[in-house]
Structure 1
Amino acid sequence: MPILEREPSRDHGKSDGLPKLPVPKLQQTLDMYLKCMRHLVPEEKFRRTKMIVDQFGAPGGVGQFLQQKLLERREKNANWVYDYWLEDMYLNNRLALPVNSSPVMVFPKQNFRTNSDSLRFAAHLISGVLEYKALLDAQALPVDYARGQLAGTPLCMDQYYRLFTSYRLPGPKRDTLVAQKSSVMPEPEHIIVACKNQFFVLDVVINFRRLNEKDLYTQLEKIWRMAENEEERLPPIGLLTSDGRTEWAEARSVLIQDSTNRDSLDMIERCLCLVCLNEPSGPELTDTNRALLMLHGGGPERNGGNCWYDKPLQFVIGSDGCCGVVCEHSPFEGIVLVQCTEYLLKYMKGSPSKLVRAASVSELPAPRRLRWKCSPEIQALLAASADKLQRLVKNLDMNVYKFTNYGKEFIKKQKMSPDAYIQVALQLAYYRSAPQVSTYESASIRRFQEGRVDNIRSATSEALAFVRTMTGENCSLNLKQLRDAINAQTNYTIMAITGMAIDNHLLGLREIAKELNMEKLELFSDETYTISNQFILSTSQVPTTVEMFCCYGPVLPNGYGACYNPQSDHIIFCVSSFRDSEESCSDKFVKALREGLLEMGSLCTKGNNPVTPSEHPVQVSNTMRNGSKCMYPQNVQYIIEC
């Protein structure tokens, strides 16, 4: 029977031929660290930091010793930073997965006229999932090659093989990423279908035959009817997975005291994925509202319990047409999610539904409802989880904005990198309300064995020089400064994707010192280092070739999440923040972003063909979180690697 084992069995033969991730030279990283932070902290603080860094990197010092240990670790491991990075980025994080960690892909709005339409859509989607999994099982997925910077390089494919085989197990202090490993005679593969906060086992292989689309539709109809039986309904156990990781781990330890609950958890933890059949959510399904509903389900009163956040893939099909996928982020990056979902949407568009033509198995066994034994203690835990999720729902502020004045083709004509250009625009938007801050942009390092990501530090001194001229009283629209900022961003991007950025390296030095039981080093207890890792602006380019978009929440209470999707003639931005912060406001940020993009566009054309506002200005509230007014007037295929 399939068992869950700790994640290290991650070699699927898809890293063959790729080089190992390099360890950058110590002095190179220390010099770049100082360069990145010099303009972000006060001069007195920087002088102290420089003294600490110089001491750390001195010949014969502790830095040289730790560097040598990292080099030795590189020789023994396929990827020297992988485990350090995974624990630091995800498994040690105690925040709840929805909003704080799990990104979502929002599909085009569907026009379901009847409940049967949504079930047909779900059956068609599951059929595509099974086709895609068959490609993975046969290891027939073509290798990805990089585009953009340093195009043509083959990329590590390991992450794809975790899509349907991983599970994030909550722990009291640290989560565990586990992988399903099948024995010679595995149980029939199954999907968990969530409907009306109930969970059902949908076997997709019966008598060694994969169910066709008509079979799947038949089973989904049965599930819907079973879920409507109010006498059989059980408490919304899925709400527990929306809680903080420590709280969920404690609740799970209570659940598994009963054998019925253990069996139900086992079926969920070993499933291929979840399909969530959501009920109508209520609000108008604008892009922004659909993004919010995908991120948190609308809370416990709507579809917040009709989910299981620990599973990497949750396909959401709302009967009102709000559809997409929720991703537990620890097993793979956004671009892998994009490739999978693009395959599914293209499959559904290019492969008409086979419900009419397909022959169904004459008698399919009914799907099984998962049962739960809920003690008063579990009921109390559910109530607490529901309350926290509702607070999160009320706190999240989102603005999905489509900038239509130009897109990446215009930027390319200026001989500029679209990604670097947009990053500079984000710096400009933020600077118009607050000083420059540490900024995170994910950069793929899949050019290397088991590569995940490193950080592009977009808050460069060159970007600061540019935004200062753009926001000064005597505004000098200096095209050279814009190009300098874009070149600095592009150069750091190349450093990051070739394994030469500073964040993974500093993390490795810090973690190997912990392993050696060394006292906390001054470099890592220094306030500048803390500031360097407070990413108030967390950004990511997630481009798609089909109509959908990605979004996620901020990583800090006073921060922004800024995901963007550059297309030929427009750019989609998904900006998130928290309402209880007086320092952030998604509407205000989007207004500043639009204004900056227009100014940068006009600067590029030097007034010959200035970029003018579109006919559809940003429709947002001009009221900030604390009740005051925003400072801007209301009218004012393959893989693209950064």
Structure 2
Amino acid sequence: MDAKEADGWYDTALPKPPVPSLESTLDRYLEYAAVVAVGQKASLAATHDAARNFVRQATPLQEQLLEISEKSLNWATKFWLPEMYMRVRMPTPVNSNPGYIFPKVKFESKEDHLKYTALLTRGLLQYKNLIDTKQISREKGTGAQKLQMCMEQYDRVLSSYREPGVGEDTQIRKQKTHEGNEHVLVMCRNQTFVLHTRINGGLLPFADLEHQLKKIEEISLINQNNATKIGACGVGPRDEAAIFWQEMLTVEQNSKSYEWVKSALFVVCLDMEDPVDYGANDTANVAEKEKEFILRGYHTLTGHGSQVFGLNRWYDATIQLVVSSSGVNGLCIEHSTAEGIVIINMAESAIRFAQQYFKSKMVWNDVRNVHPKSLTWHFSENARKLLTKQTATFDELANELELEVLIFDEFGKDSIKKWNVSPDGFIQLILQLAHYKTHGHLVSTYESASVRRFGCGRVDNIRANTQEALEWVTAMTSKTTSREKKLELFKAAVQKQVKVTLENISGYGIDNHLCALFCLAREREEVTGEEIPSLFMDPLWSEVMRFPLSTSQVTTSLDIPDCYLTYGAVVRDGYGCPYNIQPRRILFAPTAFKNDRRTDLQHFKKSLSAALRDVKQLLSN
């Protein structure tokens, strides 16, 4: 890549997102509200009354938004990031942080464990080097136009940190240091260490990383009985995490240690002496494999709770590389910085590097005299109480998380394409049918839609709970509706799903627009006392804007099998459901909260399988 190409990696000429019209957004909002109202058995009268006044009430807000759009690189991200992440006060584990589970590795010894960890670490560091020197190919969209994508998230993924604050968190952007010194944070036996990765601009060789990891493991073993579980610092509600740090940072040594943490590229979590039996081997059947996938998912998301590895973590870091002595490994991700595809591309590069050299007999010499640094912390009595309180919240979340995995191997993307259906649209309708089979109604559904064709673009929301989807799922569960009618309604639902998808990726979705208008209305009320538009106060608004079904397509490379991504439901009475559509199978990783009787994850999983078979039968004849 020449200098000119490198300069264009973050193309400032990428278009700004458009601002949809009030009328267009309102019309589509009312479509979704009507579907939600059916499930809520709610009247739409008040909603339509509010809608009649909305354009008049919101016009000043729209004019203000148009002014902001002229001055901002991306008006949507400006409002979306605080509302989606920074102002949310719930704990980030389970509620917000997804887990990307890597293929399990067989370790014969502690040396294998440390070697593979060092290789993955080196793989991530090399990928960052490619980012810093702009050597990663510019991404293009998958559509017919092959539009260039904004690469800004790549620049952020290993240079950002989420710092808790009272009322609102802060996303810290670290200075680029690839020409100076760099380090990562290592968690081992609930202790914190600095592992040096670059000195005076030079990336340390693999042998130095492995040497430092060995030293860290040795020191942590000696001190394991004296360790206060500092990893609990970010596992509770965000205000509690912020108050903890206010208390801690009155001590100068804590401030110094905290700066080392915040400036780390990422975190390596060395999980030693894993007590969990993960079961499945190479000859396991599908049910056994699903069980093993589930256990690996729990390990990556929660570390099996505070008494196992759950606090051998640092949840405010964007990337936590988790590697267990059992061979379970993956990433726990703080999601405010980047979307899944960016992180998966980086992770797959590291996995390939580690797999290439793990069984190699190559001797890694050239160990410099580089030693890791142990970070020290001083805790007041109040700080310890705050840690204990956060730990209790975390364990409640970890215990309530219910994760399932469905490996559906009866067909996959190849068959769906033969039926002339968009694979993603197909699965979104499957999810609607599965929810309807489980609960008898549809709910607001979230599917992230990349808007990286715009500068600094993140996502908008493809809502699959359309009127067309409702008519189709109703017909599919009816014993009197003909196959021809079901097929007709399916085609209409697919066409609507394609239309909604195109609207969103083109910048004309409704969620970012409504989010911005709502934020501006709230700010105006605080400053002037002027009333918020009545649509935002309508009881149905809160139901339309919450997501009991939160979904995303997660595509991984076929040369790295048995990996998947999962995350918790975003509301207590809902499901999280990422999915991976492969050529001959489809993998789902749905979640819910065990203690909420409004959900039934086992029933939902069975409904997914049943829905897939029903639609196959519908399309195959």
TM-score by length of 1: 0.89
CA contact (8 A) 1:299 1:390 kept: yes
Name the residue aligned to 1:35.
31
Q: Deviations over 1:165-213 (max 9, x none)?
A: 1000101111011101258985x20111110000111111235432111
Code of the aligned partner of 1:82: T
Q: Please state if 1:113 is matched with 2:108.
A: yes
Q: Is the 8 A contact 2:81 2:336 kept in 1?
A: yes
Confirm or deny: 8 A CA contact 2:208 2:368 kept in the other structure: no
Conserved in 2, the CA contact under 8 Å of 1:124 and 1:353?
no
The alignment partner of 2:44 has SS state of: helix
Q: Does 1:166 pair with 2:164?
A: no
| Number of the residue aligned with 1:485 | 493
Shift of 1:542: 0.8
Distance 1:355 1:201 in 2: 28
The residue type paired with residue 194 of structure 2 is V
- Partner SS state of residue 134, structure 1: helix
SS in 2 for 1:203: strand
CA 1:44 to 1:261, structure 2 compared with 1: closer, same or farther past 3 Å? closer
Query: CA deviation digits over 1:18-54, x for unaligned, max 9?
Result: 1110001221111111112123215873222122112
Structure 1 residue 126 displacement after superposition: 1.3
Distance in 1 (alpha carbons) for counterparts of 2:159 and 2:466: 39
Partner of 1:153: 147
The corresponding residue for 2:205 is 212
> Tell me, what secondary structure is at the counterpart of 2:35?
coil
2:53 paired residue among 52, 55, 61: 55
Q: How many residues align?
A: 590
Of the candidates 326, 345, 349, which is equivalent to residue 320 of structure 1?
326
1:142 aligns with 2:137: yes
CA pair 230-178 structure 1, distance change in 2 beyond 3 A? closer
Match of 1:530 in 2: 542
CA distance in 1, matches of 2:520, 2:333: 30
Question: Which of 186, 196, 208 matches 1:203?
Answer: 196
| Gap runs ≥5 in structure 1 | 1-10, 607-642
Q: Deviations over 1:396-432 (max 9, x none)?
A: 1110111100001100000000101101110111111
Asked if the contact 1:110–1:321 (Cα under 8 Å) also holds between the matched residues in 2, the reply is yes
**1:533 partner letter:** M
- Percent of residue pairs bearing the same amino acid type: 35
Partner Cα distance (1:254, 1:248) in 2: 10
Amino acid at match of 1:242: V
Distance in 2 between the 1:491 and 1:264 partners? 51
Return the alpha-carbon distance in structure 2 between the equivalents of residues 122 and 184 of structure 1: 22
Structure 2 stretches of 5 or more lacking a match?
Answer: 1-6, 280-291
The offset of 1:523, in angstroms, is 1.4
Structure-1 separation of matches of 2:519 and 2:354: 45
Query: Cα distance 1:304–1:231, how it changes in 2: closer, same or farther (>3 A)?
Result: closer
Aligned mates of 1:112, 1:405 — CA distance in 2: 33
The residue number in structure 2 matching 1:393 is: 398
Match of 1:431 in 2: 436
Partners of 2:574 and 2:442 in 1: how far apart?
12
Q: Given that residues 197 and 307 in structure 1 are in contact (C-alpha distance below 8 angstroms), is that contact kept between their aligned partners in structure 2?
A: yes
CA contact (8 A) 1:234 1:372 kept: no
Matching residue of 2:283: none
Q: Report the equivalent of 1:455.
A: 461
> What amino acid maps onto 1:45 in structure 2?
S
> What CA RMSD, in Å, does the superposition of the two structures yield over aligned residues?
1.8
Contact between 1:432 and 1:592, CA under 8 Å: does it hold in 2? yes
Residues 232-271 of structure 1 aligned to structure 2 (within 5 Å): 233-271=226-264
- Conserved in 2, the CA contact under 8 Å of 1:145 and 1:151? no
Deviation of 1:105 (Å): 0.5
Give the CA deviation at 1:466: 1.0
In structure 1, the residue matched to 2:532 is 520
CA deviations on 1:490-548 (whole Å, 9 max, x unpaired) are 11001000011111111111122233334222111111211111200011111111321
Higher percent of residues as helix: 2
* CA apart distance, 1:121: 0.3
Name the SS for the 1:562 alignment partner. Answer: strand
Q: Which of 405, 413, 418 is 1:413 aligned to? A: 418
Q: TM-score, normalised by structure 2?
A: 0.92
CA distance in 2, matches of 1:97, 1:281: 25
Q: Any idea what SS the aligned residue of 2:589 has?
A: strand
Residues 103 and 326 in structure 1, CA contact (< 8 A), matched pair in contact too: yes
Q: Is the 8 A contact 2:138 2:151 kept in 1?
A: yes
User: Paired residue for 1:78?
Assistant: 73
Partners of 1:81 and 1:87 in 2: CA distance: 11
Partner of 1:332: 338
Equivalence for 1:507: 515
CA–CA distance in structure 1, aligned partners of residues 197 and 209 of structure 2: 8
> Would the alpha carbon gap of residues 182 and 436 (structure 1) be closer, same or farther in structure 2, given more than 3 Å must change?
closer
AA partner of residue 71 (structure 2): K
Matches within 5 A, 1:172-183: 172-182=166-176
- Aligned equivalent of 2:381, options 376, 383, 386: 376
Structure 1 counterpart of 2:97: 102
- For the Cα contact (< 8 Å) 2:446–2:463, is it kept in 1? yes
Which letter maps to 2:17? L
SS at match of 1:458: coil
Provide the C-alpha distance between the structure 1 equivalents of 2:259 and 2:238, rounded to a whole number of angstroms.
19
Match of 1:635 in 2: none
- Structure 1 residues 133 and 488: alpha-carbon distance in aligned structure 2, compared to 1, 3 A threshold: same
CA distance in 1, matches of 2:573, 2:612: 24
Whole-Å separation in 2 of the counterparts to 1:458 and 1:64: 28
Q: Helix, strand or coil for the counterpart of 1:55?
A: helix
Q: Which residue of 2 aligns with 1:7?
A: none
Distance in 2 between the 1:52 and 1:333 partners? 35
